[in-house]
Amino acid sequence: AAMEHFTLNFTITNLMFTTDLQTPNSRKFRSAEKIMKHYVDSLLQKSSIGPHFTGCKVTGFRSGRHGDDTEVDAVCSYKDNGSLASLDREKLFQELSTMTNNVTKLGLYSLDRSSLYIDG
């Protein structure tokens, strides 16, 4: 089975961006990374790629368009064992949209409705 990757990006509107979120070894980065990984991994495990899903790594936090928002970048992996033709980004997008209440909620966090992006 080959390991395949895709990127996942979204914007959190109720997590104020601060420069220590950009510093990979800061306490704030590690804390936010752990929380995001938990939420994103649990969503993807419930999606159609769930049986093939191997995990996500948060690669960074960036200042959002509105200054206070925080953009989240993650790289996620799954095993492609041939039964999964290729990542159906549209289907996965629809599933994640539904699971996040139309891209408005991720656990404790509010999401920018137009910010969810999946790139295979």
For 21-40, what is each residue's pLDDT tens digit? 999 899 999 999 999 999 99
pLDDT of 86 strictly over 80: no
pTM of the model: 0.92
d(CA 32, CA 88): 28
Region 47-75 average pLDDT: 93
**Statement: residue 115 has pLDDT above 80:** yes
User: Token digits for 46?
Assistant: 């419930």
The rounded distance, in Å, linking the Cα atoms of 92 and 43 is 11
The fold adopted by the segment(s) 2-119 is Alpha-Beta Plaits (3.30.70)
* Percent with pLDDT over 70 in the chain: 98
Query: Please, where are the H alpha helices in the chain?
Result: 27-45, 89-99
At 56-69, the pLDDT tens digits run 999 999 999 877 89
Looking at the predicted structure, is the pLDDT value of residue 85 above 80? no
